[in-house]
Amino acid sequence: MKKSWQIFWHVFFWICLISLFLYLGSDDTQLGLKGLLIIFLLYPLINISIFYLNYLVFIPIFWDKKRYSSYGILIVLTIIIFGLGKYGVGLHFKQYVLMHEKGYVIGFWQYFLGTVFTSLIFLFLSIVLQITTDWFLNERVQRDLENQRLSAELSFLKSQINPHFLFNSLNSIYSLAYQRSETTPEAILKLSEIMRYMLYECNDNKVLLTKELQYLQNYIDLQKIRFGKKSYIDFKVTGQVDGQQIVPLLLIAFIENAFKHGVVNDPLSPIHLLIDVNEDHLHFYIQNKKHSNNRDAMGGIGLNNVKRRLDLLYPGKYSLTINNEEQTYTSELSLVL
């Protein structure tokens, strides 16, 4: 909160409190206007000065610096000095302050102990305010630090995606070029479109789901060029995808691993990929047949990366199930967009 707003709320609070006391005391016709101002304006201002003396001077200079003995001595002296000062004011306006309603004058010690109690209340309130303010400031600092840490971690995780993807894609294109395939230029064009999306359209926290799906389709097309007519993948999108948004580059790791570690050329066991959107819920399902000699179904950093991003970006809003069976590998993700 800005300093000017803090001052405003402090002034507003005290004005309201004093106004309330003046209103409640206005029913006492014996005090009159002068007595009313002395009892419900002058003395509250004295108590408020005790409040801010502790809040703005004693606590920052002594309490916060753990000079507790000096702080305690100053508090005792403040209570005594202000108590004597209040009694002096009372003597000056005896008929309004020290005159009891039964007709006798209130003695020094009786009045002084009353001022000690009142001063302690305002000192206590200033300490409570300082502790509360410090707690909220510390919470905000910790929250800002945590947000900065999460942002840095997300940036790091996202920075891993591009090199990881590029490495796999260049390997695919290298295979085509090595075989002198006529589809090499088309594969390079597809990779160019994919990299344009990753570099220029994925800088926001979320992107349109339709763009992300087109990116996935481009990747699948690139893999089909690599494997030629011997690649089989059943890719379906159902539901209302228009207008929905998703964290970019979240689903690609599952598809990369299916192509990298799965059997692509078996028409009886194609890669099954389904994306279904129902209102704000997305269901992602992918299954591939495993190579008999494949021991690394997780596929490097890809899925570990996406799991961490899900934890950070969709906390409590997703479920991920991975079934690593003898013949098949299945990933199923449900999340609230």
Task: Identify the pLDDT of residue 281.
Answer: 92
Q: What is the CB neighbour count within 10 angstroms for residue 151?
A: 11
Task: Identify the pLDDT of residue 285.
Answer: 95
Among 3-7, 162-166, 281-285, which range has the highest average pLDDT?
281-285
- pLDDT of residue 298 exceeding 50, the answer is no
Task: Identify the pLDDT of residue 103.
Answer: 54
Task: Identify the pLDDT of residue 119.
Answer: 86
Contact residues for 236 (Cβ-Cβ < 8 A; gap 6+): 273, 274, 275
Task: Identify the pLDDT of residue 302.
Answer: 66
- pLDDT of residue 224 exceeding 90, the answer is no
The domain 181-336 is placed in CATH, from the list 3.30.565.10, 3.30.70.360, 3.40.50.970, 3.30.420.10, at 3.30.565.10
Task: Identify the pLDDT of residue 1.
Answer: 57
Q: At what angle do helices 252-261 and 108-178 cross, to 10 degrees?
A: 40
User: What are the start and end residues of each CATH 3.30.565.10 domain in the chain?
Assistant: 181-336
Higher per-residue pLDDT: 98 or 223: 223
Confidence of residue 107 (pLDDT cuts 50, 70, 90): confident
Within 120-270, strands assigned E span 207-208, 233-239, 245-246
- pLDDT of residue 73 exceeding 70, the answer is yes
Distances (CA, A) of 17 to 69, 89, 325: 33, 22, 71
* Residue 319: strand pairing partners: 334
Distance, C-alpha 63 to centroid of its chain:
31
Distance, C-alpha 217 to centroid of its chain:
34
Average pLDDT score, the chain: 79
Task: Identify the pLDDT of residue 25.
Answer: 56
Mean pLDDT, range 6-34, rounded to an integer: 69
Cα(271)–Cα(222) distance, rounded to whole angstroms?
A: 15
Contact residues for 59 (Cβ-Cβ < 8 A; gap 6+): 71, 126, 127, 130
- pLDDT of residue 28 exceeding 60, the answer is no
Determine if the pTM surpasses 0.85. Answer: no
For the chain, what percent of residues have pLDDT higher than 70?
79
Mean pLDDT, range 137-141, rounded to an integer: 74
Could you identify the residue written with the tokens 């302050």? 97
